[in-house]
A and B are shown apart, each in its own frame.
Chain A
Amino acid sequence: MSELNHAQQVIYVYDGSFEGFLCCVYNYYYNRLKPVAIMSQDNFTPSFYDNLMVDTDFEQAYRVRFAIEEKMGYRNLKFLTECFFTCLEEKEMYMLRYVVKGFKTGAGIIDMLTDSDVSTLFKAHRHLSRESHSYLGLVRFYRARDVYVAKIEPKNQVLPLIAWHFTNRFGNQPFMIYDATNRQALISAGKNYRIIQVENIEMPQMDANEERTQKLWKKFYDTIAIKERYNPKCRMNFMPKRFWSNLPEMQRDNEKMLSAENV
């Protein structure tokens, strides 16, 4: 970034949206202010550096978005859009450096896996896609009136990546998935879905006969394991404990129920 003659160092503060981030990129090029950090309003903490409040302007965002696709191709645009959903610390700075390098290199930037900025983003992105894939299997719905609801606690923002899969899968069945980490909810009915930010949500009461289905599922879960092959470490590798609280099959009166004697 050195060849741009930046006069002073500032912290960019933006609204936390992807469009907001694109406006930061716009500012970087047009206002020639080098950011030491890019922070979203929500986790902004005052410091000795000057702040630059970046207003989200859709016109500017569109221009940057267009330029990225034009210079680096759709693959990179998609990659960056998804990187924005990762839980990487200071992801905005990595993404900004990626964009700057990408404008010079072109579409090949995505293959520069030996570059530390690219590889950091690559790893974060892989973390996100792996977690999303796990959640395709690990979301558990229960019936509340006519809606199937589920709660998840992922590290990354997985909802945008899994939304279509579930909408496509359940056809006309209305459902909701609540992401407690990022306070987002996916609501879907028919062919449409929407992801909304929610402040606080109270999970609805499950239907009366839901317990029977969960009991059947637990019975199945316990019976399918082969005692002679008991291997809790292997299970933990695939399904770490952080997932357990939202899985009915892992809810027991006492922990012992999940060990060898009960297999």
Chain B
Amino acid sequence: MDMYEKLAILTDAAKYDVACTSSGVSRGGNGGLGNTAAAGICHSWSADGRCISLLKVLFTNYCRYDCAYCINRKSNDVPRAAFTPRELADLTIEFYRRNYIEGLFISSGVMKNPDYTMEQMIKAVRILREEYGFNGYIHSKIIPGTSPALIEIMGNLVDRVSVNIELPSEQSLNRLAPDKTRTNIFLPMGKITEQKEISARNMVRYRHAPKFAPAGQSTQMIIGASEETDFHILRLSQALYDKYKLKRVFFSAYIPMNNDRLLPSVDTKPPLLREHRLYQADWLLRFYGFRAEEILSEQDSMFNPLLDPKCNWALNNMHLFPVEVNTAPYEMLLRVPGIGVTGARRIVRARKMAYVDFDGLKKMGIVLKRAQYFITCKGRAMPYVTIDRQHATLMLTSDSAKDNFKVTAGQVSQLSFFDMSQLNDLYIEKQKERMVINV
């Protein structure tokens, strides 16, 4: 099999992996090839609008496991291939020299057993790091069930490691991925957290102590293949951030590939809006000081499809608004819909020098479309804007959203009485219509 064909098979098999970030570590060049930037660098964008930062491939798509949702499961009849460690290393270098990529993302199907697979992956990474002196970004998956010794070796070679938790609950995992267990996912995850702490301590003591996975660890789970609520998923992410100090939790809208009675039918559309809402909420957890319990609750366990989580929260907590931009603490500015980390920082900078009014906010590049219903400047609201829950709800629900869900203005202003599940059905229907037009 030639390289061209191999690359096609192993890229196709890897494309459902979400993580493509190259951020989290800033490392200058060492005279050899490569450096990394803390912000991460995107190199291209594919036709689905997702960024391409790393050469994302599987080492092999031969797999012993039979996970229901996976295209590479052993019971599927798909073309199989495997790189040799050298082929993969050479390809990475060739692409890197031309600035096509920021580094390598390596994952794999399970050959023989998890340890054997990891050893093969380590070989490829070793060639890159030790033989070619490659100093760029590498992200490696840890195969569930890998022994701790191999995790330690891999973690010292690469920038980021990740173990996929695959599904948001143990029941779903047992049902859909019978070869994987909760323990052999969480053990490596815990090992990585522990190893990172050890490495941090050692770096204080010894000058040349190796840095274990400097860009931290991440994970991903599939959304929409099983029954968990948004609240459950969000609480799980929060626990992962708190307990395992994860850098990122990625969500992947389920795209049906296999006809399996355990899974949604093959003509189900990927729940893209739900995935989007989860990411919005994930940002609120990581950068805005929110807790999962503020965003959703047991009773209200699914996201509002018409409004983003922050707007939704603000409308349910109108007693905290309006916020005076000139005096409000930074944390409160962050909670205003339409004002993000950049905007809040800019306001804090500017108000040290002069009073900020609405014109000033515009000059700073703050978009008032959503923020206007929640702020005052020098004690005054924006001209012609009333600060009121009903009015704001109506204005914040865009016309296109109303069209999509066939909701009338009256229904929107009484959002709490409106049946959310009904909205979701409508949304899916609308999505289907749109897909037909696109294809």
Residues of A participating in the B interface, judged by any CB pair closer than 8 Å: 105, 108, 111-116, 119, 122-123, 126, 133, 136-143, 148, 150, 165-166, 168-173, 213, 215-217, 219-235, 237-239, 247, 249, 258-260, 262-263
Query: How far apart are the CA atoms of A253 and B286 in the complex, in Å?
Result: 44
B312 to chain A minimum Cβ distance, whole angstroms, is: 24
B353 touches A258 (CB 8 A): no
A87 to chain B minimum Cβ distance, whole angstroms, is: 18
B438 touches A213 (CB 8 A): no
A71 to chain B minimum Cβ distance, whole angstroms, is: 16
A114 touches B363 (CB 8 A): yes
Q: Tally inter-chain residue pairs, CB-CB below 8 A.
A: 177
Residue from the list A112, A165, A249 in contact with B353, Cβ < 8 A: A112
A116 touches B363 (CB 8 A): yes
CB contacts under 8 Å to A, within B359-375, are: 359-360, 363-365
A263 to chain B minimum Cβ distance, whole angstroms, is: 5
A119 touches B438 (CB 8 A): no
A224 touches B15 (CB 8 A): yes
B206 to chain A minimum Cβ distance, whole angstroms, is: 26
A225 touches B350 (CB 8 A): no
The interface-forming segment of B75-83, B97-105, B196-204, B395-403 is B97-105
Chain B residues in 8 Å Cβ range of A138: 43-44
Chain B residues in 8 Å Cβ range of A116: 363
Chain B residues in 8 Å Cβ range of A105: 353
A168 touches B95 (CB 8 A): no
User: Can you list 17 A-B contacts (CB < 8 A)?
Assistant: A112-B353, A114-B353, A114-B359, A116-B363, A133-B41, A139-B99, A140-B100, A169-B136, A216-B94, A223-B12, A224-B56, A225-B50, A226-B50, A228-B269, A229-B49, A232-B47, A263-B46
CB contacts under 8 Å to A, within B34-58, are: 34-35, 37, 39, 41-53, 55-56
Query: How far apart are the CA atoms of A249 and B55 in the complex, in Å?
Result: 14
B47 touches A258 (CB 8 A): yes
Chain B residues in 8 Å Cβ range of A114: 350, 353-354, 356-357, 359-360, 363-364
Q: Is B16 an interface position by the 8 A CB rule?
A: yes
A216-B4, A229-B272, A260-B439 known; A111+B353 contact, CB < 8 A: yes
A140-B98, A171-B33 known; A263+B48 contact, CB < 8 A: yes
Chain A residues in 8 Å Cβ range of B136: 169
B52 touches A224 (CB 8 A): yes
Residue from the list B42, B49, B98 in contact with A233, Cβ < 8 A: B49
* CB-based nearest A residue for B350: A113
Q: Which 8 A-B pairs have CB atoms at the shortest separation, nearest pair first?
A: A234-B49, A114-B360, A225-B46, A231-B49, A229-B48, A119-B363, A113-B350, A137-B43
Known: A140-B100, A221-B46, A221-B52. 18 other contacts (CB 8 A): A113-B353, A114-B360, A140-B98, A148-B98, A150-B99, A169-B34, A171-B31, A171-B32, A219-B4, A219-B8, A221-B44, A223-B8, A224-B15, A225-B50, A226-B15, A229-B270, A238-B51, A258-B47
A113-B360, A220-B55 known; A169+B41 contact, CB < 8 A: no
Chain B residues in 8 Å Cβ range of A115: 354, 363
Residue from the list A108, A173, A221 in contact with B97, Cβ < 8 A: A173
Chain B residues in 8 Å Cβ range of A231: 47-49
Chain B residues in 8 Å Cβ range of A140: 98-100
A254 to chain B minimum Cβ distance, whole angstroms, is: 15
Chain B residues in 8 Å Cβ range of A224: 11, 14-15, 46, 50, 52, 56
B16 touches A123 (CB 8 A): no
Chain B residues in 8 Å Cβ range of A238: 42, 45, 49, 51
Residue from the list B41, B95, B354, B360 in contact with A217, Cβ < 8 A: B95
Query: How far apart are the CA atoms of A136 and B359 in the complex, in Å?
Result: 34
Chain A residues in 8 Å Cβ range of B33: 169-171, 173
B29 touches A168 (CB 8 A): yes
Q: Is B3 an interface position by the 8 A CB rule?
A: yes
A217 touches B100 (CB 8 A): yes
Chain A residues in 8 Å Cβ range of B99: 137, 139-141, 150, 166
A169 touches B35 (CB 8 A): yes
Residue from the list B4, B37, B270 in contact with A228, Cβ < 8 A: B270
A168 touches B47 (CB 8 A): no
Query: How far apart are the CA atoms of A141 and B42 in the complex, in Å?
Result: 16
B285 to chain A minimum Cβ distance, whole angstroms, is: 24
A224-B11, A238-B51 known; A249+B44 contact, CB < 8 A: yes
Query: How far apart are the CA atoms of A165 and B26 in the complex, in Å?
Result: 11
Chain B residues in 8 Å Cβ range of A112: 350, 353-354
Q: Which of B12, B39, B51, B353 has the most CB of A within 10 A?
A: B353
Query: How far apart are the CA atoms of A249 and B98 in the complex, in Å?
Result: 12
B367 to chain A minimum Cβ distance, whole angstroms, is: 14
Query: How far apart are the CA atoms of A219 and B349 in the complex, in Å?
Result: 47
Residue from the list B3, B46, B349 in contact with A216, Cβ < 8 A: B3
Chain A residues in 8 Å Cβ range of B102: 137
Q: Is B28 an interface position by the 8 A CB rule?
A: yes
Query: How far apart are the CA atoms of A140 and B100 in the complex, in Å?
Result: 6
Chain B residues in 8 Å Cβ range of A142: 98
Q: Which of B3, B53, B56, B100 has the most CB of A within 10 A?
A: B100
Query: How far apart are the CA atoms of A262 and B46 in the complex, in Å?
Result: 12
Chain A residues in 8 Å Cβ range of B352: 108, 111
Chain A residues in 8 Å Cβ range of B320: none
Query: How far apart are the CA atoms of A215 and B4 in the complex, in Å?
Result: 8
B189 to chain A minimum Cβ distance, whole angstroms, is: 26
B15 touches A119 (CB 8 A): no
Chain A residues in 8 Å Cβ range of B360: 113-114
Q: Which of B46, B272, B357, B359 has the most CB of A within 10 A?
A: B46
Q: Is B387 an interface position by the 8 A CB rule?
A: no
B82 to chain A minimum Cβ distance, whole angstroms, is: 17
B364 touches A119 (CB 8 A): yes
Q: Is B7 an interface position by the 8 A CB rule?
A: yes
